[in-house]
Amino acid sequence: MSDDRRFLSLLTGSFSTPAGANPTVAMVEAAYRDLGLDARYINCEVASDHLGAAVRGALAMGWAGFNCSLPHKVTVIEHLDGLGASAELIGAVNCVVVREGRLIGENTDGQGFLASLRTVADPAGRHLVVFGAGGAARAIAVEAALAGAARLTIVNRNVAHAEALGDLLNARTPARAQARPWDRPCRIPEDADIVVNATSIGLGDGNARLALEAESLRAGLVVADVIPNPPRTALIRDAEARGCVVLDGLGMLVNQAIVAITLWTGRQADAGVMRAALERSL
């Protein structure tokens, strides 16, 4: 068997459109073809009570690794041999890499976000306002803090979740973090540099709006949305109309996969090829 035959990846969980129509599969397989790799990226829907068996199956079949989507990002950890540093801090795994027969959990969501962000701004020394305190928000906030962000304001509907994330950032990273409840339209602080929607508001609904004071989106502010579909969310359109620098969720989706492909194969995939495949497939 050639070495490339080992580069198989398992996709589990929530991107559960019928096989062949899955946008992530189209994106990753376009990258493999472009790199000339004899590799497949296979979407497997795995029930929660079969997760351990699926993980052991991937190892038994010599897979190079696999992604995990919701609802497996936390529960997969008990089936792994170790965690990368930021996955340990985030407490969730979206990418598993087989290294010398050991299953190592990584989190590429936050790294993918940062790679996308760095095309327009460096988070070092900046004040980020993050809406949301779920898995995506944790990954983004932890990686931004580790990359030198000075301050993070975590705004969330359930303030206890925002406080838990703020406590984690204050205890385990050099950044200063504060939690804010989201019980009325939020005014973006004047000293904020980067605003991130890391909630699920806007997924599948291009007209869904975050409760915020639109006039506080001032020109020059960087506004990023994690929502990949539809990519032109109401937040992106509103921010663009007010002169903000905008980043859609496709950039994060492409870049988290680029990081994963590098972990699995050691190769650097082409963002342009992947984004084009994703846009064709969405």
Q: Mutual orientation of helices 109-117 and 249-265 as an angle, nearest 10°?
A: 120
Task: Give least dist CB 62 to ligand NDP, A.
Answer: 27
CB 193 within 8 A of CB 221: yes
Task: Considering the candidates 73, 79, 127, 138, report the single residue annotated as catalytic.
Answer: 73
Task: Give least dist CB 1 to ligand NDP, A.
Answer: 32
State which of residues 29, 106, 109, 193 lies at the interface with ligand NDP (CB under 6 A): 109
Say whether residue 256 binds ligand NDP (CB under 6 A).
yes
96-280-206 Cα angle (round to 5)? 90
Q: Which of residues 204-233 bind ligand NDP (CB under 6 A)?
A: 226-228
In the complex with ligand NDP, which residue's Cβ is closer, 177 or 253?
253
- Residue 148's Cβ-count burial label (10 Å; 0-12, 13-18, 19+) is middle
Q: Which residue is nearest to ligand NDP (CB)?
A: 134
Say whether residue 70 binds ligand NDP (CB under 6 A).
yes
Closest CA to 82 of 65, 66, 99, 69: 99
Stretch that binds ligand NDP, among 37-45, 83-91, 151-159, 172-180 (CB under 6 A): 151-159
Say whether residue 23 binds ligand NDP (CB under 6 A).
no
Q: How many residues bind ligand NDP (CB under 6 A)?
A: 24
Cα-based distances in Å from 89 to 165, 174, 200, 230: 11, 13, 22, 30
Say whether residue 90 binds ligand NDP (CB under 6 A).
no
Active site residue 73: yes
- Residue 88's Cβ-count burial label (10 Å; 0-12, 13-18, 19+) is middle
Q: Which two tokens stand for residue 35?
A: 């790199």
Query: What's the alpha-carbon Rg for the chain, to the nearest Å?
Result: 19
Say whether residue 158 binds ligand NDP (CB under 6 A).
yes
In the complex with ligand NDP, which residue's Cβ is closer, 83 or 201?
201
Say whether residue 253 binds ligand NDP (CB under 6 A).
yes
Stretch that binds ligand NDP, among 45-53, 57-65, 132-140, 187-195 (CB under 6 A): 132-140
Stretch that binds ligand NDP, among 49-57, 141-149, 183-191, 251-259 (CB under 6 A): 251-259
Binding site for ligand NDP (CB under 6 A): 70, 109, 112, 132-137, 156-158, 161, 199-201, 203, 226-228, 249, 252-253, 256
Residue numbers annotated as active site: 73
